[in-house]
Amino acid sequence: MELDDLRARERDVRERVVEAADRVDRDPGEVELLPVTKGHPPGVLRTVAAAGFERVGENRVGQAEDKFSKVGRLGLSWHMVGHLQRNKARRAIQLFDELESLDSLRLARKLNRELEKADGGDFDVLIQVNASGEDSKSGFAATSPRSDALLDQVRTVCSFPRLQVRGLMTMAPLTDDEEVLRTTFRRTRRAFERLGDEVEGFHARTLSMGMSNDYEIAVEEGATRLRLGTALLGPRQR
């Protein structure tokens, strides 16, 4: 992918973000774009870095390791945005700067244990919540943001000394039903706000929600980070 192509797509996305933010009286400067390079060759990372992005998202440990071995870190902060298997936790903390998909207490315990073994400092995470109620989605249940169950679980995650909890991430259903999307995003935002108010150690800094098919609605509902693949990088090449 050429640098000019990425910059043109970025301009289009940012214009849409501004329009969406204006509709709800938000500052568009609060919204960050995270290019997700899943399915794209390693060279795309050089283009992403040349375009001035500071972060990049990858879905799988193995694919990220392969790309890193070929192009290096490129001054980018590497974020894992896909499901992390517990048996790959050690490799993940060696490669990534942040995990946006911490989806269970078992994974939190495993990460904390591996971080303590490595004695390499703390690790930033976002807690993944399932706000749609879909069985196919991973994450802590957040279909009822007023429920104390989520607070108790997040308190446990925040008690692990090596994990720095920076916010929440969610994935909305793949649908054109705007009300379903809004409901998912609103539940996540309300949970984010309540956790920030009531859970010590929960740093309500990042609300990662919205992808290429629904990011404008996510902006209207409070997202601060958009995880964008096709909208920024074009169709996957493999």
CA distances, 5 to each of 75, 106, 108 (Å): 21, 42, 39
Specify the pLDDT at position 145.
65
* Residues 6+ positions from 145 with CB-CB distance below 8 Å: 187, 188, 190, 191, 194
Specify the pLDDT at position 236.
82
- Is 114's pLDDT higher than 90? yes
Domains of the chain from N-terminus onward: 3-233 (3.20.20.10)
Average pLDDT over every residue of 35-52: 95
* Residues 6+ positions from 101 with CB-CB distance below 8 Å: 80, 81, 82, 83, 84, 126, 128, 138, 139, 169
- Is 50's pLDDT higher than 90? yes
Average pLDDT, the chain: 94
Specify the pLDDT at position 36.
97
User: What would the two tokens of residue 153 be?
Assistant: 């679980």
Q: How far apart are the two ends of the chain, measured CA to CA in Å?
A: 13
> 122 versus 133: which is more confidently predicted?
122
Task: Find out whether 214 and 177 touch, Cβ atoms under 8 Å.
Answer: no
Which residues pair with residue 126 across a beta bridge?
A: 167
- Is 148's pLDDT higher than 90? no
- Is 238's pLDDT higher than 60? no
Specify the pLDDT at position 134.
84
Specify the pLDDT at position 142.
86
Average pLDDT over every residue of 144-160: 89
